[in-house]
Amino acid sequence: MSDKPETKQFEPTIIGFTCNWCSYRAADMAGTARMKYAPNVRLIRLMCSGRLDPMFVFKAFAGGADAVLISGCHPGDCHYINQNYKAMRRFQLMKRVLAQLGIEPARLKLLWASAAEGAIFASEITKFVEEVRALGPLNFNATGFENQPKVEHKEVPA
Amino acid sequence: MEKKEKIGVYVCHCGTNIAGVVNVGEVSTWAAENLKDQGVVIARDYKFMCSSLGQELIQKDIKELGLTRVVVAACSPHLHEATFRNACKGADLNPYLCELVSIREQSSWVHTDKVAATEKAKALISGGVSRVVHHEALEPLHVPIHPATLVVGGGIAGIQAAIEIADAGFQVYLVEREPSIGGHMAQFDKTFTTLDCSACILTPKMVQAGNHPNITLLTYSEVEKVDGYVGNFVVSIRKRARSVNEKDCTGCGICWEKCPKKVVDNVYEVGMGTRKAVYVPFPQAVPKYPVIDRENCTYYIKGTCKACEKFCPTNAINFAQEDEILNIEVGNVILATGYDAFDAHRITQYGYGRLANVFTSLEFERLSNAAGPTGGNIVMRDGKTTPKVVGIVHCVGSRDKNYNEYCSAICCMQSLKFAHLVHERTGAEVYNFYIDIRTPAKGYEEFYHRLLEEGTHFVRGKVAEISDAVRLPGEEGKLIIQVEDTLTGNQLRVPVDMAILSAGLEPRADAKEVAKKFGISCSADGWLIERHPKLDPVSTVTEGIYIAGCVQGPKDIPASVVQGAAAAARILGKIQQKEVLLEPVRASVNQDQCSGCRICNNVCPFNAILFHEDTMVSEVNPALCQGCGTCVAACPAGAISGTGFSNLQILSQIDGLLMLNIPRKEAVV
Amino acid sequence: MKEYAYFPGCSLEKMAVSYHQSTLETTKKLGIKLKELEDWNCCGATTYFYIDELLAYTLCARNLAIAEKTGLDVVAPCSACYKNMFFTAAHLKTDADLAEHVNFALEEDNLQYNGGVNVKHLIEVFAHDLTPEEIKSKVTHPLEGVRVAPYYGCQIVRPQKGKEDVEQPQFFEGILEAIGATPVNYPLKMRCCGGSLIISSRTAALTMVRNLLKSAVDSQAQVIATACPMCQVNLEVYQQQVNLEFGTDFNFPVMYFTQLIGLAFGIPPKKLGIGKEFVAVLPSLVPAGKK
Amino acid sequence: MTDTLSFNQEISNLLYAAEGEPLQTCIQCGTCSGTCPVAPFMDYSPRQIIALINAGNKEAVLESNTFWYCASCYHCTVRCPQEINITELMYALKRYSIWKSQHQEGLIGPTFSEAFVKMIVRGGRSFEPILAPSYIFSFNLRELLTEVTGATELLLKGRLPILPARIKRLENFKRMIGRIIPMGGLE
């Protein structure tokens, strides 16, 4: 890409979803405390991780994201009682679907971060970026599956 | 799209906070050129968007260019969303048509690579622009505020808050777990630095709280459940059975005089004294009614005795009394549940519990209290010997990563107070073992100087251990405090008769549960988190829930009183407004699309979704809906939409965020 | 039947041979099988770490690799061996880089270590893997009325290895109670004996030994029980040097805890290596032995 | 870059990564020195050694006996309120001192350590009689005599071996060590 300097390493693009109460505030806290992390994640604020429609995740992959981060309050700390458990279940299902689509499930990460855990939020993002960098660019494009290598259809245990 | 929106993009420098890392000029030029198709008609960058000049810039553009949407790229929406919404409102643009993009907390402050940070800022703005197109004009929800307030915790912070609100003419429920209000302050003998008698300054306040016509005192009670939201909380309170009818009891004291069962008092007397099975914790207790401790009462154990009932002149004893559940409505809540003293048993090398003459700070408070078990005589564990040498150990359980990393803030002053009392009452030689002396408040340093003048020994060094391992002449029968005097570099063995451990403060053992019950968060060590550590220390991220006193972090009496009063002032301000405006983030069901599957009915944590049996569709009750959006994500028919966070808004935002990537993807494939 | 890989360590070959003998005798009685590691090497005490850290880890890893082949937990009776092996195993488990370096060297002896060994101190076998009832069931000559000072020393519990109390543990007392003895409250039970200093910093070490002996005498103990050959040698063999240096007159028996257990089990003293000590142990135990 | 490392950084680099908190977090509370059973014999207390390292006073640190007097009892380490692994720091200082061949004159520790390790490298196991003379000869007669008295008695009690112990696969063992350090350095 022309407006970017020549980089030796692959810089993944990651879409991140946060809830309004814990994980977005963890990001705020990482900011106020000037903690440094990799610039590859672009965050979208939802009210709750329970709002996360799986469609959003697939849309992000289809649109060119190399990975997706989902973050919310710790189990038991949800601002809306227990909606983050729903996010957790959807996360498991989405990983299976991704596997069937031939996308490495490791490209989807779930991260619990309380409003006080800016440091964890920052370090986990940097870690995730490294992991995605190791996986390489997502070989998948929005126009369809024609260019995809044949995916072996494996039964995913329930 | 039928109608083309006109969008203005405003990039804030935030001085150098953003501009120092993100090339703001490049970003605004880029937005003006590349986001035209999305509807951007103007993009500007400015030094401080939140300043009045910055806001006027937006308002001028709205009026002159006819902007229909505004995107501000600046700090976190949790800081300035309201500011820019108000600016829009001032120019007659619906405030909900404004979107704030955080390029400070999420870019300039957390990245060092200027090129990458600038690119990320562009992507975030692109996302914001794509999203704002689909914003709808909304009106905030107006909710009336219930004028009553719940104060949880009857220590000095809670008492202060309750009195302030009650004096202003509003109803307060003051809930306390113990049989009497007063808290830890009621256990103390003297208070630093003025050495006022703690009871002398506290008792009048307790009485005032007890007699106040606007205060409903609920002692021996605990909050069970909290429902609702700011302005309209419904709280269930368990009022434990006292086994005494309050309306008959006169507090005459005959029952506890006649009760044959002595019990070691582990709460008020911290194990140093006894009380009866029917008791008031201390003579000045408020309310004056006793409670029967059913775990220890002979009648509840063996079925006979009833001495209290026999002697009670007003027939107030009621063995059959049961717990009562009260449901109250309040508009605001103050949590002032205080602290637990650090359990000194945990530092085994200090010998507490193993070596008789090692005392904790609370034990010493009782020992020196004229109303305490020794009548204020500072004596050793045998109850008669006056110590000749006393060692006071600072930082017990504080400033130590093995226990608590934080400084407990009060221990230095508490230790100095102890040193003074020991010196004054026994004439004993006193050693203070400290790491640093911290006296940062009015009159505190002067108190330290007074102690220096009194001849108290100060040894700079954290005590390594206290033992009875006698080795040298003169050590027989003494406790040996082993420490490095770090100012001389010598390892010392200081023989003392009595050691006092100045224990730190810890969050209440159940602080995490309490926080959860009230929907707020705790820091990793368990203190409740305030909304802003400097600028908003008594409110929390949950509207309507305030914190005061040690529940927020270790602090002394003056600071607790300040917080209690501050929280009260904040609430009085809210009550005066009579209503509160809520974010109109709510879900709604498009009844034409609803298939009546009822999946949403079960996912809703607030039971806000009703199913109409007749029309076979579901409906969201906006009064109960909290806007989490789980039902929106769960609806298989896509019939539910959430204002402010609709599918269209989020999907468009994803597109926007990824806009910059499409060329690279093509290059890869 | 319980079975362990057994790493005796250099001291038990000669200097602390009575520890070795009493260990074998008492475990045999309890139905525990100890399988000595084949061709083990010295753990290096503390000294390897003075010279080269990687070398130190490699030498311990060689023993761990040999133990791994047996599939058993490895037991070390010496505190220094135990501490070295425990932390080598812990670091190799979490540090892949270190494991790679170490395994590269182990190739020369046709060994590999995959991180699968649990390291235990001999006293843990008695304190945690056996119940007090199991020990009690073998006691024929309870050491009634014998006041024993349990000496933990340093490296059994320090540095912290799990969740146990590092300042006032009680498991040694539990074993002594199981054999009928009276453990005395002994304030210096966790203090270092200076074993690793006896050669390099003699005065310091002798002072530490003197303090320990005085504390034991003051607590009216009749015998010190140890679970480490370094401690035993230091506290017992160097008593004469302490007396010379400080003008004291200590003549205080220091025994291995396995010897005390052996006596309670009715094993003949000779089989427990009793007779090789500098300070006669039997007189103080005679009243108990007769009961 | 290597020549710009401060003394503090050099020492920190010698600590095993898992040993945690760097020395600059020391709050100089003196818990280590108050705890240390050997502190009265040290030139500088452990706390002072950390202060000297942080101040970059390399000469004073290397010329002190402090780390050679550490008994490795880990009492300071379990009590340190900043969770600094002081015992490992003392090991690191010993390694640094041997590496730079700089230590206080007259100390037995450095020579003894080298002799001990050489012995193990040669035979795979430690053997006290060889050991004792090889280091004590270079020091004073009185200590030699006291050691010999003790040794003779141990020998009579059958607690000292006559022949040095060796492991069976000694050649493999030596090659194994060769992969870690050049044998010339210790042989």
Q: How far does the CA of residue D144 sit from the closest CA of chain C (Å)? A: 11
> Which pLDDT value is given to residue D152?
66
Asked if D34 lies within 8 A of B461 by C-beta distance, the reply is yes
> Which pLDDT value is given to residue B289?
95
Q: Are D30 and B483 in contact (CB under 8 A)?
A: yes
Nearest by CB to B469, from C167, C168, C187: name it: C187
Q: Chain C residues with CB inside 8 Å of B347's CB?
A: 167
Average pLDDT (A55-76) is: 91
Nearest by CB to B462, from D29, D39, D40: name it: D29
Q: Is the pLDDT of residue A133 over 50?
A: yes
Nearest by CB to B483, from D27, D34, D83: name it: D34
**C57-to-A50, C54, C89, D105, D180 alpha-carbon distances in Å:** 49, 5, 9, 29, 10
Chains D and B touch (3+ CB pairs under 8 A): yes
Residue spans of chain D under pLDDT 70: 1-3, 16-21, 126-158, 160-165, 182-187
Q: Chain D residues with CB inside 8 Å of C101's CB?
A: 180
> Which pLDDT value is given to residue D21?
56
3-state secondary structure B656-668: HHHHHHHHHHHHH
Q: What distance in Å separates the CA atoms of residue C179 and residue C285, rounded to the nearest whole number?
A: 13
Q: What distance in Å separates the CA atoms of residue B53 and residue B528, rounded to the nearest whole number?
A: 37
**Mutating which of A9, A14, A20 best tests the B interface, going by the most B Cβ atoms within 10 A?**
A20
Neighbors of chain B by Cβ distance (3+ pairs < 8 Å): A, C, D
CA end-to-end span of chain C, whole Å? 31
Phi and psi angles of residue B377, each rounded to the nearest 5 degrees, phi first: -80, 125
How confident is the model over B629-651, as pLDDT tens digits?
999 999 999 999 988 899 999 99
B534 touches chain A (CB under 8 A): no
For the record, the structure tokens of B61 come out as 């553009």
Q: Are B606 and B625 in contact (CB under 8 A)?
A: yes
CB pairs under 8 A between C and D: 186
Q: Are B130 and B652 in contact (CB under 8 A)?
A: yes
Phi and psi angles of residue B659, each rounded to the nearest 5 degrees, phi first: -50, -40
Nearest by CB to D31, from B460, B462, B489: name it: B462
Helix residue ranges per DSSP H, B133-195: 156-167
DSSP code per residue over A82-142: SHHHHHHHHHHHHHHHHHHTT--GGGEEEEE--TT-HHHHHHHHHHHHHHHHHH-S---BT
**Mutating which of D29, D36, D38 best tests the B interface, going by the most B Cβ atoms within 10 A?**
D29
Q: Chain C residues with CB inside 8 Å of D178's CB?
A: 108
Q: Chain C residues with CB inside 8 Å of D71's CB?
A: 154, 192, 194-197, 204-205, 208
B348 touches chain C (CB under 8 A): yes
B274 touches chain C (CB under 8 A): no
Asked if C165 lies within 8 A of B348 by C-beta distance, the reply is yes
Chains A and B touch (3+ CB pairs under 8 A): yes
Chains D and A touch (3+ CB pairs under 8 A): no
Q: Is the pLDDT of residue B357 over 60?
A: yes
> Which pLDDT value is given to residue C163?
72
Helix, strand, coil distribution of chain D in percent, nearest 5:
60, 0, 35
Asked if C167 lies within 8 A of B469 by C-beta distance, the reply is no
Q: What distance in Å separates the CA atoms of residue C282 and residue C286, rounded to the nearest whole number?
A: 6
Phi and psi angles of residue C225, each rounded to the nearest 5 degrees, phi first: -105, 130
The dihedral formed by the CA atoms of C165, C166, C169 and C171, expressed in degrees to the nearest 10 = 90
Amino acid present at C15:
M
Integer-rounded Cα radius of gyration of chain D: 19
Q: What distance in Å separates the CA atoms of residue B287 and residue B658, rounded to the nearest whole number?
A: 65
> Which pLDDT value is given to residue D140?
46
Give the 3-state secondary structure of residue B292. Answer: strand
How confident is the model over B114-128, as pLDDT tens digits?
999 999 999 999 999
> Which pLDDT value is given to residue D128?
58
Residue spans of chain C under pLDDT 70: 46, 282-284, 286-291
Long-range contacts of B57-64 (CB under 8 A, 24+ apart): B57/B10, B58/B8, B58/B10, B58/B84, B58/B87, B58/B88, B58/B91, B59/B87, B59/B88, B59/B90, B59/B91, B61/B8, B62/B8, B62/B88, B62/B91, B62/B92, B62/B93, B63/B91
> Which pLDDT value is given to residue B516?
82
Q: Is the pLDDT of residue A115 over 90?
A: no
DSSP code per residue over B34-85: HTGGGTEEEEEEES-TTSHHHHHHHHHHHHHH--SEEEEEES-HHHHHHHHH
- The DSSP call for residue B154 is -
- Preceding omega of B287 cis (within 30 degrees of 0): yes
Asked if B468 lies within 8 A of C187 by C-beta distance, the reply is yes
DSSP code per residue over B536-588: BSSB-SSTTEEE-GGGSS---HHHHHHHHHHHHHHHHHHHHH-EEEE----EE
More confident residue, B53 or B581: B53
Other Cβ atoms within 10 Å of B536 Cβ, number: 12
Average pLDDT (A68-79) is: 87
Closest chain D residue by Cα to residue C107: D176
Percent of chain B scoring above 70 in pLDDT: 98
For the record, the structure tokens of B200 come out as 């002398």
A149 touches chain B (CB under 8 A): no
Give C110's contacts (C-beta < 8 A, 6+ positions apart). D172
For the record, the structure tokens of D39 come out as 């502190």
> Which pLDDT value is given to residue D163?
56
Q: What distance in Å separates the CA atoms of residue C204 and residue B394, rounded to the nearest whole number?
A: 30
Strand ranges (DSSP E) for B397-489? 429-434, 457-460, 465-467, 479-485
Closest chain D residue by Cα to residue B406: D81
Closest chain D residue by Cα to residue B467: D35
Q: How far does the CA of residue B508 sit from the closest CA of chain A (Å)? A: 18
- Preceding omega of C159 cis (within 30 degrees of 0): yes
Q: Which helix H or strand E contains B495, and what residues bound it? A: strand B490-496
B79 touches chain C (CB under 8 A): no
D39 touches chain B (CB under 8 A): yes
D165 touches chain B (CB under 8 A): no
Percent of chain B scoring above 90 in pLDDT: 86
A82 touches chain B (CB under 8 A): yes
> Which pLDDT value is given to residue C122?
96
Q: What distance in Å separates the CA atoms of residue B96 and residue B91, rounded to the nearest whole number?
A: 13
**Mutating which of B395, B483, B486, B493 best tests the D interface, going by the most D Cβ atoms within 10 A?**
B486
Q: What distance in Å separates the CA atoms of residue A131 and residue A139, rounded to the nearest whole number?
A: 16
Other Cβ atoms within 10 Å of B52 Cβ, number: 9
Q: Is the pLDDT of residue A140 over 80?
A: no
pTM higher than 0.90, yes or no? no
Q: What distance in Å separates the CA atoms of residue B300 and residue B293, rounded to the nearest whole number?
A: 9
How confident is the model over B164-181, as pLDDT tens digits?
999 999 999 999 999 999
Q: Is the pLDDT of residue B493 over 70?
A: yes
Per DSSP bridges, beta strands B221-229 and B232-239 are antiparallel
User: How many residues are listed for chain D in this entry?
Assistant: 187
Average pLDDT, chain B: 93
Asked if B647 lies within 8 A of A53 by C-beta distance, the reply is yes
Q: Is the pLDDT of residue B238 over 90?
A: yes
Nearest by CB to C10, from D150, D159, D165: name it: D165
Q: Is the pLDDT of residue A58 over 90?
A: yes
Q: What distance in Å separates the CA atoms of residue B470 and residue B474, rounded to the nearest whole number?
A: 9
Q: Chain A residues with CB inside 8 Å of B603's CB?
A: 50, 83, 86
Closest chain D residue by Cα to residue C101: D180
What is the predicted ipTM? 0.78
Closest chain C residue by Cα to residue B466: C187
**Could you tell me which of B529, B587, D35 has the C-alpha nearest to residue A77?**
B529
More confident residue, B335 or A22: B335
For the record, the structure tokens of D179 come out as 């992969």
> Which pLDDT value is given to residue A147?
45
Nearest by CB to D176, from C62, C190, C241: name it: C62
Closest chain B residue by Cα to residue A56: B651
Classify residue D139 as exposed, middle or buried by CB count within 10 Å of its CB (0-12, 13-18, 19+).
Answer: middle
Strand ordering across the sheet containing B221-229: B221-229, B232-239, B324-330
